[in-house]
Amino acid sequence: MFQDRIRGNYENLTPGFRKLADFIMNNTLDAAFLTATELSRRVGVDPATVVRFAQELEYSGYRELSREIKHYVRDQVTSTYRKAGEAESVESLLQALVENAGQNMQNFVTTDLPNVVKAVQTLREAVQIWFTGEFTGYDIASFMAKKFQAYGIAAAAFQPSMSETASVVAQMNEGDVLLTFAGTEPNLDAGYAVRLARQKGVKTITVTGSGVILPARESELTIIVPCKTPVGVPAFGAMMQVMGLIWEAVMKECVADTAAKTESLQGNMEKILKLRAETPEYEVGAQK
């Protein structure tokens, strides 16, 4: 099957071929209905690259590869969507969604896990970690920055507006890392932030649901997570799961420091609780 051929050849593929491989693995349902020209436009390569990619996987051409993808979609991928559409209860719907999520993560592990390894290594060596993203991507960025800050790792989040990006990029230095979260929306402002950071010598990583949006194209390292589900709305569970993996892997190198920080955090919270209990009523009333 085409998945096995992609997995077996992935490490030796050129960047252009990897973009095609990522798209086919993460958007199999879409790929089944695209011609070579349409696929090239979606991924951002020329049509000849699509043909050479199929031949690299030992197909006679894209037509043969496309037939196999269509067969797979008909027999397997659509079965998950059909189960969700035919679900007569919340339980059966959830079972279909779990099956789809498992399939997505299996595809992710076989294609993008090496990029997660590189991201962890880069973050471990960072002097300062900057997080950014648009819309809900900023919420994830803010959450992750606070998680790292809580354990003594230099981290900060910013919204990629014109003034905020200009100010933050001015503070960045070589040795810093910019980690961007982007769904499938254009994320143009986040893309501009990535471009400016790279121009300053800052290492850049983007975690996204699309390998063709601006932040993904501008970043040195892009991690593409699956976000399609049978219910027709983008899923964010895979992105949170990937970030959880990155968080745990980075923090593993800081086990001793993490334990000390956790103890310190708990100690400070106990002090605050004690202060609250000892605060007289007039101090609270004075705020009214």
Q: How many domains does the chain have?
A: 2
pLDDT at 266: 82
Res. 131: pLDDT tops 90? yes
Confidence of residue 14 (pLDDT cuts 50, 70, 90): very high
The CATH number for 27's domain is: 1.10.10.10
- How far is the C-alpha of 33 from the C-alpha of 181, rounded, in Å? 29
SS (H, E, C) 213-226: CHHHHHCCEEEECC
Q: Name the nearest CA neighbour of 160 among 140, 130, 132.
A: 132
Shared-domain flag, residues 55 and 156: no
Contact criterion met (CB below 8 Å) for 132 and 156: no
Task: Identify the domain boundary among 111, 134, 151.
Answer: 111
Rounded to the nearest integer, the mean pLDDT of the chain is: 87
| Amino acid at the residue 195 | R
* Max CA pair span of the chain: 83
Shared-domain flag, residues 95 and 119: no
- How far is the C-alpha of 6 from the C-alpha of 262, rounded, in Å? 43
**Mean predicted confidence (pLDDT) in 100-122:** 83
Res. 287: pLDDT tops 70? no
The DSSP 8-state label assigned to residue 44 in this structure reads T
Whether 243 is covered by a domain: the verdict is yes
Query: Token digits for 242?
Result: 């990937």
Task: For 49-96, write each residue's pLDDT tens digit.
Answer: 999 999 999 999 999 999 998 887 776 666 666 677 677 889 888 888
The residue count for the chain: 288
Range of the domain at 97: 2-111
Shared-domain flag, residues 235 and 134: yes
Three-state secondary structure call for residue 181: strand
Higher-pLDDT residue of 24 and 109 is 24
Shared-domain flag, residues 8 and 130: no
Whether 139 is covered by a domain: the verdict is yes
Shared-domain flag, residues 104 and 48: yes
Shared-domain flag, residues 132 and 202: yes
CA distances from 33 to 20, 111, 137, 138 (A): 15, 22, 30, 34
Whether 85 is covered by a domain: the verdict is yes
Confidence of residue 256 (pLDDT cuts 50, 70, 90): low
pLDDT at 1: 82
Confidence of residue 254 (pLDDT cuts 50, 70, 90): confident
- How far is the C-alpha of 43 from the C-alpha of 21, rounded, in Å? 10
Contact criterion met (CB below 8 Å) for 187 and 217: no
Shared-domain flag, residues 245 and 203: yes
Torsion over CA: 13, 15, 18, 20 (sign): negative
Shared-domain flag, residues 66 and 164: no
